[in-house]
Amino acid sequence: MKSALYPIKFEPILKEKIWGGDKLKTLLHKDSNLNNIGESWEISDVEGDTSIVSNGVFKGKSLKELLHTYQSDIVGKKNYNQFGDKFPLLIKFIDAKQDLSIQLHPNDELATKRHNSFGKTEMWYVMQADKDSNLIVGFNQEMNAETYLKHLENKTLTEILNFDKVTSGDTYFIEVGRVHAIGAGVLLAEIQQTSDITYRVYDWDRVDANGNERELHNDLAIDAFDFDMEDNFRVHYSEAKNTSNEMVSCPYFTTSFLHVTEPILKLNNKDSFFIYMCVEGEALIVTETTSELIKAGETVLLPAAIETYKITATNAKLLEVYV
């Protein structure tokens, strides 16, 4: 069965959003007639949004089918033992034409109890940002529930939030319980646990085409906050060429930055799948039996059973992810 496996691409699942724009089409070349596309789900096992293979002999099959058939050959033994036929990560590109809502995500314990879901630890890598664009991450002062609720009630929440101006390459680690939002003008790659649980606490008082405000989740959110977090969300990493530079390592995923300018031979000794998100340029991934080109805005899954492969490029920037 192992010999049948190869670098797998999936059809992007495109999501229209009230805050979405057109960069996923114009900059990342996603083919769609939709307007205001906010998200491209590159690899997803979220219920109702399971990725479908777009290349090779598995074309048309779902990620769920591949997991059921090939099991640990896709994800690795330890991951299959832990997650079974459930893929542990959700991989996205996000384009914010307008500010996203102020939000946070619950931890595994709360998410399991309330939603029968994983929690949602995530990270962001900024691919492009318009001038003066920002991200909101955390508070700009020490915070407690009482002060937070007072500002929420008085509609002065933005006074206590931390705004960071960003540029391409900036990277943030968003732990569960941390308030955050993507600002207008930011295009980014997002790596997260497989979960679609978001607690929205403020949405800039905007309304949809029918004059309706989006639902807020403040009753649920107050228990999900971790007000004692340190401001350690900015990720500092090496950009050394032709090697994997670790950015984030947490219990849910490890992500590295890879700037490829010459062929690199890779050995998979992690007992895990590898995901490559191309954030700039293009790269060729070559295995014993096949090769697959990935361009900026594309994502590929290398099954765990592929033990050696080569990445070739003259100037490509990749995010490399495993669990």
Residue corresponding to tokens 């569960």: 176
Query: Which tens digits make up the pLDDT trace of 107-140?
Result: 999 999 999 888 899 999 999 999 999 999 999 9
Please state, in angstroms and rounded to a whole number, the distance separating the CA atoms of residues 41 and 15. Answer: 8
Closest-CA residue to 26 (of 187, 170, 239): 187
Quickly state the pLDDT bin for 2 (edges 50, 70, 90).
low
Structure tokens at 243: 């090697």
DSSP 10: B
Query: Which tens digits make up the pLDDT trace of 277-292?
Result: 999 999 999 999 999 9
Query: Which tens digits make up the pLDDT trace of 295-305?
Result: 999 999 999 99
Task: Please answer whether residues 202 and 148 qualify as being in contact, where contact means their C-beta atoms are separated by less than 8 angstroms.
Answer: no
Please state, in angstroms and rounded to a whole number, the distance separating the CA atoms of residues 300 and 273. Answer: 11
Find the mean pLDDT for residues 231-235.
93
CATH topology of domain 245-322: Jelly Rolls (2.60.120)
Contacts of 40 (CB under 8 A, 6+ apart): 12, 13, 14, 15, 24, 28, 30, 92, 93, 94, 297
> Which class for 244: exposed (0-12), middle (13-18), buried (19 or more C-beta within 10 A)?
middle
> Which class for 198: exposed (0-12), middle (13-18), buried (19 or more C-beta within 10 A)?
middle
- The CATH number of 2-224, from 3.30.565.10, 3.100.10.20, 2.60.120.10, 3.20.20.10, is 2.60.120.10
List every span in the chain annotated with CATH 2.60.120.10: 2-224, 245-322
